[in-house]
Structure 1
Amino acid sequence: MKPLKTKRFVILAMMMTLLLLSLSQSVWAFSDTKSDPNEAKILELQKLGILSGGKDGAFQPKGKLTYAAGITMIVKGLGLNIDNIRFIKEPKVSDSFPKMKDDAWYANTFIIASLNGLEIPRDTDPSAIMTREQFAHHLMKCVLKKGDFAFIDLYVMLKDEKEVTPAYMDSIQKLLITKIAQLDSKEKFNPKAAITRSDAAGWLYGAIQFVKNTPPIPPVEEPEPFPLYDVKLSVKAVNADVNEVTVSAQAPNPGYGLKIGSITFEGDKAIVQVVPVYPDKDKMYPQVITEVKAVTYVASGFKPVLAETGASSAGSAGMIDGGGTSSSPAGPDAAVSNQ
């Protein structure tokens, strides 16, 4: 009898598993997206909690998309937020969009979208139907908030290009280049047509995947401006073979310093490169203009000149300031010292 009971238990367990799987699928799947071209993308967005249907479990993929629903999809799907902004006064949606109510379900979404520059017109009616070009523009503006992406230098020809609002064309081109959106069989974009909920979901899914899989261009670090000014070079003979070269500059406060970075030789010239010394970040300094200096010694057979620093100087860069002998940077045997 024991083997029989075991067999029944296994069969019962399998039936329960199948029932749970079917229930799980029915919970996730919309009731009206089967055979829709964007069915798989809609299901993924639903699993992520980005899309939800009505009380009857329908998504209405062929239905038209309102501005309220469209902007909510975009902001929620691409994770836009205003967490890094601190407000003196709490923002209200009616401050930016007079036709919207502050207690409406979409209010916070439009505040986020506005502060992130999605370029939503001030007179937007949240119940208005979004066109394909409007959704395309706001979606691409949101994508560009996620990073500085490189796009192929390509222009996609549209048979209905004249119907596109010029301000939206760049966004449409980027969507087409990245394959997030496609033209129809007649090579038209149909910019003024209402976007369906299915197409909006498909584009949103494509945008999410693009952001996820495309590394943005690394930011270019701009060199810090030379913090010292009125840079001067003076020469004094030590003896017949060696000259003392002093470079001086004005600094914003006593925390700065100056040192000789390098000396290079071109013909009879010794080019002196100076480097600023920056203040200790953990210390406070009085904001008093301070003169800083660096000294080096060069062979008298070379003429010392200043290398370009980008700083202002008393004369032209590369010219000796001050006196005396037209002396010069350190030759191979000369010593270098900083002070």
Structure 2
Amino acid sequence: MKKLLLPFILVLLLSLPSLCFADTQPFKDVDGHWSDKEIQLAYKNGIMQGVAADLFNPEGKLTRAELAVCLDRIFDFNFDNLRFIKAPSPADYFDDVEENQYYSQSVMELGFFNVFDIPDRKFKPDEEVARIEVAQTIAKCFEVKNLNVVTIQMWPQFNDIETTPDLAFIHNTGIMKGRGEGGFAPKAKITRAEFAAVLNRTMSTIKLALPNENEVSEPTVQIDIRGEVKSVVKDGDKISSIYVEGVLTEDTRYDKATIRITDDTAIATCVKGADLPVQDIHQGSIVEVTFTGPVAESYPVQATAKLLRIIE
């Protein structure tokens, strides 16, 4: 009797894959789609979600808000090494991004690191994004996170767009390739299914860029000036401006600057977790400063500090 039951049980188990061999993917609209496995992997790794509990909408177009959220998940942008005089908000970077939206925090973090090239402060979160914007923002993320990837030295040629370093990087890493006969289709809107595949290849490239999976690269921003604080101006108990003199190097833009300090200025220290209030900036402090907004091209230049890193 036991010999008869065993084959029966095996047949029963095999006939009920939903009980014993269920996919981790809950989406009913991707079965048979070319991206089924790509979507399953992106979902399993927590880097892309559906549009509903059981729907992914693979042919739907990716929005800029979705792009920001997914890039934040995969590159892990944060302010852990920064201390703000005033807590930042999305409105500090974009005029049309409200608080408490599912994308607000991600947009704010990517906005701080200038991942998106948006000069008019209009993020347009619901706007569908083109392939070229996806390529440019991913390349920028690698740059900001200090992720160096060894690739073959190729300068791909496309018949519909001039090749840039960003495009060469994206192409040579295999994150995104051309589309059609010799073109990149830069203005074509990218679908959610296509982006799932792009994210998976991006994740694989990130792993190649890190010595080990536990190492986290600290995000960087452009340094406008590095030098010694020569004078400090206070408004009551608060520092309102500093004057800095330094030496021009390959990674700096100015050697002398009068720099305004505002409530929106982020203060960072060289030692993560160190407690060094902005009030402790004094004559003789060595700082690195990134500017925000217009720079008065006088000499010394005049600008507002976006990020002030205290070196010593």
Partner residue of 2:134? 135
Paired-residue identity, %: 23
C-alpha distance in structure 2 between counterparts of 1:179 and 1:81, whole Å = 27
2:204 corresponds to 1:197: no
Residues 300-325 of structure 1: CA deviation (Å, up to 9, x unaligned): xxxxxxxxxxxxxxxxxxxxxxxxxx
Greater relative contact order structure (CA < 8 Å, 6+ sep)? 2
Cα separation, 1, equivalents of 2:88 and 2:154 = 40
- Is contact 1:114-1:120 (8 Å) kept? no
Equivalent in the alignment of 1:149: 149
Moved more, 15-24 or 207-216: 15-24
**Cα distance between partner residues in 2 of 1:13 and 1:154:** 53
* Distance change >3 Å, CA 202–CA 92, structure 1 → 2: same
- The CA distance in 2 between the partners of 1:106 and 1:17, in whole Å, is 42
What is the deviation of 1:132?
0.7
**What amino acid is the match of 1:207?**
T
CA distance in 2, matches of 1:24, 1:106: 34
The structure 1 segments of at least 4 consecutive aligned residues displaced by more than 6 Å after TM superposition are none
SS at match of 1:86: strand
**Number of matched pairs:** 209
- Matching of residue 88 in structure 1 with residue 65 in structure 2: no
Counterpart CA distance in 2 for 1:154 and 1:27 is 38
Structure 1 residues 114 and 103 mapped into 2: Cα distance closer, same or farther (>3 Å)?
same
- Cα deviation digits, residues 83-140 of structure 1 (max 9, x gap): 2222221111111111110121110011121223313412111111111111111112
Which one of the candidate residues 73, 96, 107 is aligned to 1:110? 107
User: Could you state the TM-score of these two structures normalised by the residue count of structure 2?
Assistant: 0.59
The residue aligned with 1:303 is: none
Q: Contact 2:62/2:128 (CA < 8 Å) preserved in 1?
A: yes
- Of 41, 44, 47, which aligns to 1:50? 47
Instruction: Tell me, in whole angstroms, the C-alpha distance in 2 between the residues paired with 1:171 and 1:194.
Output: 18
Match in the other structure for 1:235: none
| In 1, Cα distance between equivalents of 2:60 and 2:195 | 11
Pairing 1:282-293 to 2, within 5 Å after superposition: none
Q: Determine helix, strand or coil for the equivalent of 2:68.
A: helix
- Structure with the greater alpha carbon radius of gyration: 1
What amino acid does structure 1 have at the position aligned with 2:81?
N
Instruction: Name the counterpart of 2:75.
Output: 78
Paired with 1:16 and 1:86, the residues of 2 have a C-alpha distance of 56
User: Which runs of 5 or more structure 1 residues have no equivalent in the other structure?
Assistant: 220-339
Displacement, 1:30? 2.4
Quick one: distance in 1 between partners of 2:204 and 2:115? 19
Change (3 A) 1:34 1:152: same
Q: Tell me how far apart the structure 2 counterparts of residues 57 and 116 of structure 1 sit (CA, whole Å).
A: 34
| CA distance, structure 1, for counterparts of residue 70 and residue 61 of structure 2 | 14
2:175 matches 1:180: yes
Residue type of the partner of 2:71? I
Bigger drift between 143-152 and 105-114 goes to: 143-152
Cα distance in 1 for residues equivalent to 2:37 and 2:45: 13
Q: RMSD across aligned C-alpha pairs, in angstroms? A: 2.8
User: CA 1:115–1:14 in structure 2 vs 1: closer, same or farther (change >3 Å)?
Assistant: farther
Given the two structures, how large is their TM-score scaled by the length of structure 1? 0.55
